[in-house]
Structure 1
């Protein structure tokens, strides 16, 4: 995709962003990356809650900066008549409204789906909440940790010795934000056919359940409750993290043919003929013994030795990286997956780019730095209120 030559896919789409913290801002940042004009409506004086979450760069939250590029900011008090008029002027020209308040909040403000659809029939109304707009838990508050725990995500993360373990990133928020992007784009496509906006109801808990593809299917197929198994795969072996002489790396063998090739490269022909390991099903039953035998060989050479041999012969493998090593990797650089944003004071922060824009370079992704609170008021009023 050549963004300069053909334009970004969501150019011409205007999004009013009533979101804060992570799930909603991830959704609207992605829409902004893809070309939408995103107007972030924030609470006067304090703004998005994440503006107060550290660490800070030149007085600005790195958390906030990581999910709020390509947006403009205006501060509005939605219970004040003058600010409500401005907000409604935004909605009159917007294509999408995204909010992540607790269900019922928008109705109390007078901006529920029924009211807004009657006034702005083409407006797409995207709601992201912990449990969705229906069901017995709809009004309960939720954070990422809550839905990770309730969905069973934590129960299959970590090891048998670790106890309940949260996924290392806020997958509850991020999953909901990305599903909300899909829902928004689907609603835009449908509106192109029908001329009507629609309600998109995204539940963080629903999204966690959708991401539990293998555990849910395994429970249904076997009747046994999946539990934490560390880094290995429940249905394939060897498929795990292994120790070489100087550090960890991964081997991911998904077939009997690949296993025989692996044994040949390790010069372990007896392993391939061992009845415990001749089929994937048997290897899964005896994965602990297999790991011990493999590592007895792997620790004799440094990681780079095995990575080179396995890669040259088509055995899926990869380095184990810290975050610092990952962001410095040449493949990440080649794909343009690191970008820079600036705080209002000028300090720079390196952040993850957008994988949908991979190959275009960081300059194509960051068109606007994360906004200062109310920093775009004059422009927004000129475009949406004065021009009305």
Structure 2
């Protein structure tokens, strides 16, 4: 029997494009909300043109918009605005990721929409948020990573500041928007009062840098790029093995002592250079040389097997081809489920990381093709006649 979805009955109007906003809508849809993906007629979400492609369809778009009901609506036309206001009356949540002020220029800002539906939760994610001296600036993921400090601490000593391989600013922005919306949903159900959730990509990155920020706030020292090493504990790094590099995370005294025994050097635990976490961080270069003398004798597979047998965190540095066949990740945790798309056919997507015991948050439906559900949305949801829908199409409102 299919497990229930926790957000059954929650109605979301998704005006977002590309990644941060659609990621939030994706999570809400995976958890059971009815998410109406509202796109520009004839063009759609910008990410429909982003690769990679499957049978001409953007896999990028299909991943972040799975499970949504797709419709088109021109919000620059007065009739389109009126239709959107009709939809707001029946919705629980509106999400958008326009530059701040755009919705207000359209006459559809939070102050207007909350008068139509006082229980409405309005979620917005933007580069810098809806207030402050930079709020009108455009912002993408790379802006969030650069302005928020993440790039300055990513990479190797002496190297250039580096953007993370995945768009972490956007992902963090989408996650924070989802968290804020779920909190607001709880609040509105107990008070009847709606809320505006205002999330910034820059803030999201800054918030994620908690311990890194504290190096400067507590010590006055500007954090630098340190490769795979961790500022707060050691050994917690990558180490060269016979065939590649291996990750070892002996992050506390007990694990460190177990590692010393495993390496055949129990006396190392009493070495005054490495007695405490603070000592090991300070003397990380000497410690890395000692550990690599041991790791270079074995393959990555041999080392990880020994480490995990002793309960010491360790793993290979997987390339994506290894991740997608891993029995834990792809198998037991179902992180790459298959979905049948009407154009792309059977394809694998990246799942969300949320698992419930009594409920289901796995994706169950594909992303819509552009305008796929116009008749359903405007006919069933807004109860318009076929003649009215056809007139809207002729006037390019939908």
For Structure 1 versus Structure 2, the TM-score category normalised by the shorter chain is: over 0.9
With 319-328 and 347-356 compared, the bigger mean Cα shift is at 347-356
User: Which of 329, 342, 345 matches 2:343?
Assistant: 345
In the TM superposition, what is the alpha-carbon distance from 1:371 to its structure 2 partner?
Answer: 0.4
Q: Which residue of 2 aligns with 1:98?
A: 95
With 337-346 and 110-119 compared, the bigger mean Cα shift is at 337-346
**Alignment partner of 1:88 is 2:82:** no
Contact 2:354-2:361 at 8 Å conserved across structures: no
Query: What SS is found at the alignment partner of 1:139?
Result: coil
Q: What is the distance in 2 between the residues matched to 1:364 and 1:203?
A: 26
Query: What SS is found at the alignment partner of 1:365?
Result: coil
Q: What is the distance in 1 between the residues matched to 2:338 and 2:379?
A: 29
**Alignment partner of 1:38 is 2:35:** yes
Runs of 5+ in structure 2 lacking a partner?
Answer: 386-398
For residues 186-215 of structure 1, the C-alpha deviation after alignment (integer angstroms, 9 at most, x for no partner) is 111110111121111111111111101111
Q: What is the distance in 2 between the residues matched to 1:359 and 1:69?
A: 22
Q: What is the distance in 1 between the residues matched to 2:357 and 2:298?
A: 35
User: Structure 1 residue runs of 4+, over 6 Å off?
Assistant: 358-361
User: Which of 165, 182, 185 matches 1:168?
Assistant: 165
**Alignment partner of 1:107 is 2:119:** no
With 247-256 and 187-196 compared, the bigger mean Cα shift is at 247-256
**Alignment partner of 1:304 is 2:301:** yes
Q: Which residue of 2 aligns with 1:313?
A: 310
Contact 1:123-1:197 at 8 Å conserved across structures: yes
Q: What is the distance in 2 between the residues matched to 1:304 and 1:358?
A: 32
Q: Which residue of 1 aligns with 2:353?
A: 355
Structure 2 CA distance for partners of 1:96 and 1:324, relative to 1, 3 Å: same
Structure 2 CA distance for partners of 1:59 and 1:359, relative to 1, 3 Å: farther
User: Which of 107, 116, 130 matches 2:127?
Assistant: 130
Contact 1:19-1:100 at 8 Å conserved across structures: yes
User: Which of 173, 189, 198 matches 1:192?
Assistant: 189
User: Which of 334, 337, 362 matches 1:336?
Assistant: 334
In the TM superposition, what is the alpha-carbon distance from 1:270 to its structure 2 partner?
Answer: 4.1
Runs of 5+ in structure 1 lacking a partner?
Answer: none
With 270-279 and 323-332 compared, the bigger mean Cα shift is at 270-279
For residues 24-66 of structure 1, the C-alpha deviation after alignment (integer angstroms, 9 at most, x for no partner) is 0000000000000000110011100000111211111111112
Q: Which residue of 1 aligns with 2:13?
A: 16
TM-score under structure 2 normalisation?
0.92
Superposed CA RMSD in Å reads 1.8
Q: What is the distance in 2 between the residues matched to 1:63 and 1:175?
A: 17
Correspondence 1:1-388 to 2 at 5 A: 4-5=2-3, 7-332=4-329, 333-357=331-355, 365-386=362-383
TM-score under structure 1 normalisation?
0.95
Query: What SS is found at the alignment partner of 1:263?
Result: helix
For residues 171-196 of structure 1, the C-alpha deviation after alignment (integer angstroms, 9 at most, x for no partner) is 11110100000111111111011112
